Structure 1
Amino acid sequence: MELIQVTGKYLIDDFHKVPEQIYKDDPNWIPQLRMMIEDTFDPAKNARFQKGDARRWVLKQNGKLIGRIAAFYDEDYSSGYDQPTGCCGFFECINDKKAAFKLFDTAHDWLKEKGMEAMDGPINFDENFFFWGLLKDGFQPQTFGMQYNPAYFNELFEAYGFKTYYDQYSYSLDITNPDLPERFWKIAEWVAQKPGYTFEHFSFKNQDKCIRDFLEIHEKAWGNHGNYKPIEFRLLKDLLTSAKIILDEEFIWYAYHDGKPIAFFMQILDLNQILKKLKTGKLNLWQGLKLLYLKKRRTITRCRVIVLGVIPGYQGKGIESAIFHHLKKVMLRKSWYNDMEMSWIGDFNPKMNAMFKSFGADRTNTHSTLRYLFDREKEFVRAPIIE
């Protein structure tokens, strides 16, 4: 077997050809958007390179591509745990333990050289909205940004010594369904009309204010979690700029109380419904035009909720329901959208999981974020529960 570090155009092409080989006979696989992955590894477009670094490799056997992996770290992530923790991701491999272990060893050795003492994976060198976690159950076509992998990947990671740091649950819901609990909508309407509360959707015209409001909510809503990582303004603005094709301004909502931002909701369009038809993640001019055409023809019928947060002091007051009250009006008007996937919610967040179940949402699949401790004698501890 020959391991090659990815440098230059041809090896970048090889990096993207690996999954094409792995999934060529798998009808559930949908190609990932190549330009999105390449932006992740571009220091000019990914601010995480300011405090970290990344490498990636492909693995060949007898001249044939059989695997790939990336390793990365940044100070904000690595410093948030008991031990400096780096990451691996974009793992693909044939069902061969020797090949998989060679890839894991390579990521491990590089991260150890950088001072890391643990490795999380398979995750992304970017926000956890995309390409995060190992699919554990629900082996079906995934929504945009959600990981898909063969079942045997679980065996390869486990055999190497990775353990589950936390599970990630996804739920499906049609909020226009008249069978949803009546009590839910009564609370939603009541809160939506209470004095002092206002609800607004996102606007690219006012995106700087929207980003600042989100960052304030994000810090207050998630800051009490032991592994909270603040998001930089520039990172979020870059993300919005690059993600315009999967955004609808009316699918991103804010809640305010007396003008103060208190809650945020965001769902994106499931671009995978189009990428599955195009059968490629590398878009040339013609494919790009076809993508826009299919989007205009309302090919996308599903959305994916990636963020829902309410700051302390307003939790348990029906704010989420009130946001859904406003969102329902939009989705009734845009009736071709008939499914919402809420993904993902960590098992460390029992309140959020209970809330989605109370909405009548059905759990569809599970991903797992795994951790490998370099000190094999060190006690393994799962992610702490958010109280």
Structure 2
Amino acid sequence: MKNNTDNKPIVYACSGCSSAAQMTNYLALQLDRKSVAEMSCIVGVGGNVKKLLHTAKSGRPIVVIDGCPLSCAKACLNNHDIQPTHHFELSKFGVAKKYHADFNLEEANKILQTLENCIISGEQKLLQEAQKPKQYKDIEIIEVSTKKQLKAFINFPLELYKGNKYYVPQLYKDIAATFDKNQNPALEFCEAKYWLAYKEGKLAGRIAGIINHKFIAQWQQPYARFGWFDFIEDENTAFALLQAAEKWARAKGMKAVHGPLGFTNFDYAGMLTAGFEELGTFATIYNFPYYPETIQKAGYKKETGWVEYKISLGTQVSEKLQKLAAIVERRLHLTSLKPTTKKEIQPFANNIFNLLNEAYAGLFGMVALNERQIEYNIKKYLSFIKPEFVSLVLDANKELAGFAITMPSLSIALQKSEGKLFPFGFLHIMKAFKKNNTADLLLVAVRKDLQGKGVNAMLMRDINLSFIKNGIAFAESNPELEDNHKVQSMWEYFDARQHKQRACFMKSL
């Protein structure tokens, strides 16, 4: 059995003053000391402590020891949709629940031996099954090695989702640049492999395997990523693709695989789990409902999630929002800059991404952008925006305090152009910029020292005014971490409907 805590089972015990509860803690502690399992805190799971919840949802095997039929420890985990790998209830071992009495040490040690044997044999069996390569005779997996294969990799979703009215193609030019080492600076610290799946000679799926070394160094999590994962409605195709990525990751010394994620936080991420009959956006992944079902059958468990909102805008900014924005403006000596040209935004371009690094630090998987990445993203985003759809807030020293970057929705335009600028795709995009009733919120950030002080109210007021002026009736929030309540609080001033959910899934290797 491995002693590495990345693969070691986590053990939780119930709490209480009875002899049975005391015994559960003794057993959990002994399993930890024997390196059979790593003891963690069930109070943390039941009490929504983020770090402990993250541990519980890491995909490692879970052992639960309950002292009585109430199964309190198991219930706490179930409240967070976490199922134990092993559940031991001491009453089934004949342990009596007594108050004002100590547990029987001899009895406990006999049970300990049984638990230890069950856990070790169970873990070895699970590990052997997970690492045993399965044969999918009708599926051929080919590693991408030519430009022609890469083009097929990029274009596969166009065929898969042909005729689907909710799927929004990604811009081919941007995706091609993402995979180009000469253009994408993230490839300086990321390794990647790409695979295609063929069934009966026909292209049936794709997957990217990624190792972000900066993420591993910062988060101390030797996890590989999978991304750009698409497949026909055939489990074996998906399993074969995932197996290829997992085999590569294991050979590289990785302890887990999670995704769908891109090279960085600014790539496409999160598998759609709800909202399949909602129009996608150009910044997000759309997938069929069979995707999350299949990924879980492959042994993956949810690691984290995102939610999205569709905001209905009225013809006026709410009085409550206007009052709050005015108070914040006056109290914190802030001013709004409402640019009308890209030239007005350019002096703040670097500061926008530096502020974003600061504001997003600590969020799931976030690794700060370096100078080359900032330059890359300035070209990618700021050259492609409508200035009136940007709001900047400055402090008394004219330093950037917060920003919101939005743009007219490109969903319909990209559907019509199939993600291509030429020969006529750019005309659809130009039309979307000129006349549209929907906008996408791309990036919103507030300086750390001003977070929680109402700066968001100023940003939302200014953006709302611009939307009204430009005939925007609806806005898409795009993904927000489901536990990022600060961001979600922005929508209390609007008629907002939470309409989509997505998740990142993980599997231990």
1:204-215 alignment, distance < 5 Å = 204-205=342-343, 209-215=347-353
Kept in 2, the 8 Å contact 1:40–1:126? The answer is no
Q: Give the letter for the 1:307 counterpart.
A: L
Partner of residue 292 from structure 2, selected from 151, 154, 170: 154
1:370 and 1:342 map into 2 onto residues whose CA distance is 22
1:96 and 1:108 map into 2 onto residues whose CA distance is 19
1:297 and 1:67 map into 2 onto residues whose CA distance is 37
Runs of 4+ in 1 over 6 A off after TM superposition: none
Task: Tell me what 1:316 maps to.
Answer: 452
Pick closer, same or farther for the CA change 1:96–1:313 going to 2, 3 Å.
same
Task: Tell me what 1:264 maps to.
Answer: 403
Structure 2 counterpart SS, 1:79? helix
Task: Tell me what 2:414 maps to.
Answer: 275
1:162-201 alignment, distance < 5 Å = 162-178=300-316, 181-194=318-331, 196-201=333-338
1:144 and 1:163 map into 2 onto residues whose CA distance is 26
Q: Give the letter for the 1:8 counterpart.
A: T
1:191 and 1:147 map into 2 onto residues whose CA distance is 36
Structure 2 counterpart SS, 1:161? coil
Kept in 2, the 8 Å contact 1:77–1:86? The answer is no
Task: Tell me what 1:125 maps to.
Answer: 263
What is the CA-CA distance between 1:244 and the residue it aligns to? 5.3
1:1-387 alignment, distance < 5 Å = 1-128=139-266, 130-139=267-276, 140-178=278-316, 181-194=318-331, 196-201=333-338, 204-205=342-343, 209-225=347-363, 227-243=365-381, 246-259=384-397, 260-278=399-417, 280-284=418-422, 286-295=423-432, 297-298=434-435, 300-335=436-471, 337-374=472-509
Pick closer, same or farther for the CA change 1:25–1:142 going to 2, 3 Å.
same
1:226 and 1:331 map into 2 onto residues whose CA distance is 30
Kept in 1, the 8 Å contact 2:210–2:224? The answer is yes
Pick closer, same or farther for the CA change 1:54–1:283 going to 2, 3 Å.
same
Instruction: Flag structure 2 segments of 5+ consecutive residues without an equivalent.
Output: 1-138
Q: Give the letter for the 1:366 counterpart.
A: Q
Structure 1 counterpart SS, 2:165? coil
1:17 and 1:227 map into 2 onto residues whose CA distance is 28
Kept in 1, the 8 Å contact 2:309–2:496? The answer is yes
Structure 2 counterpart SS, 1:313? helix
Give me the CA root mean square deviation: 2.4
1:169 and 1:296 map into 2 onto residues whose CA distance is 26
1:370 and 1:307 map into 2 onto residues whose CA distance is 24
Pick closer, same or farther for the CA change 1:346–1:10 going to 2, 3 Å.
same
Kept in 2, the 8 Å contact 1:263–1:319? The answer is yes
What is the CA-CA distance between 1:164 and the residue it aligns to? 1.4
Kept in 1, the 8 Å contact 2:414–2:420? The answer is no
Structure 2 counterpart SS, 1:343? coil
1:246 and 1:208 map into 2 onto residues whose CA distance is 13
What is the CA-CA distance between 1:151 and the residue it aligns to? 0.3
1:293 and 1:261 map into 2 onto residues whose CA distance is 30
User: Normalised by the size of structure 1, how large is the TM-score?
Assistant: 0.87
What is the CA-CA distance between 1:108 and the residue it aligns to? 1.2
Structure 1 counterpart SS, 2:450? coil
Q: How many positions carry a matched residue from both structures?
A: 368
Deviations 1:293-321 (A, max 9, x none): 533652x3322112222233322322111
Task: Tell me what 2:118 maps to.
Answer: none
Deviations 1:169-204 (A, max 9, x none): 1112244444x6532221123333557212224664
Pick closer, same or farther for the CA change 1:17–1:217 going to 2, 3 Å.
closer
Pick closer, same or farther for the CA change 1:165–1:358 going to 2, 3 Å.
farther
Deviations 1:108-167 (A, max 9, x none): 122222332222211222433x42110011112201111100000001111112211111
1:268 and 1:76 map into 2 onto residues whose CA distance is 30
Kept in 2, the 8 Å contact 1:251–1:267? The answer is yes
Pick closer, same or farther for the CA change 1:30–1:215 going to 2, 3 Å.
closer
Structure 2 counterpart SS, 1:116? coil
Query: Higher relative contact order by CA 8 Å / sep ≥ 6: 1 or 2?
Result: 1
Structure 2 counterpart SS, 1:235? helix
Kept in 2, the 8 Å contact 1:166–1:348? The answer is no
Q: Give the letter for the 1:344 counterpart.
A: P
Shifted more, 184-193 versus 46-55: the winner is: 184-193
Kept in 2, the 8 Å contact 1:176–1:331? The answer is no
Kept in 2, the 8 Å contact 1:306–1:344? The answer is no
Instruction: Flag structure 1 segments of 5+ consecutive residues without an equivalent.
Output: 375-387
1:163 and 1:196 map into 2 onto residues whose CA distance is 47
Task: Tell me what 2:20 maps to.
Answer: none
1:228 and 1:98 map into 2 onto residues whose CA distance is 33
Deviations 1:332-377 (A, max 9, x none): 3212x22211122102312222332454422121111222221xxx
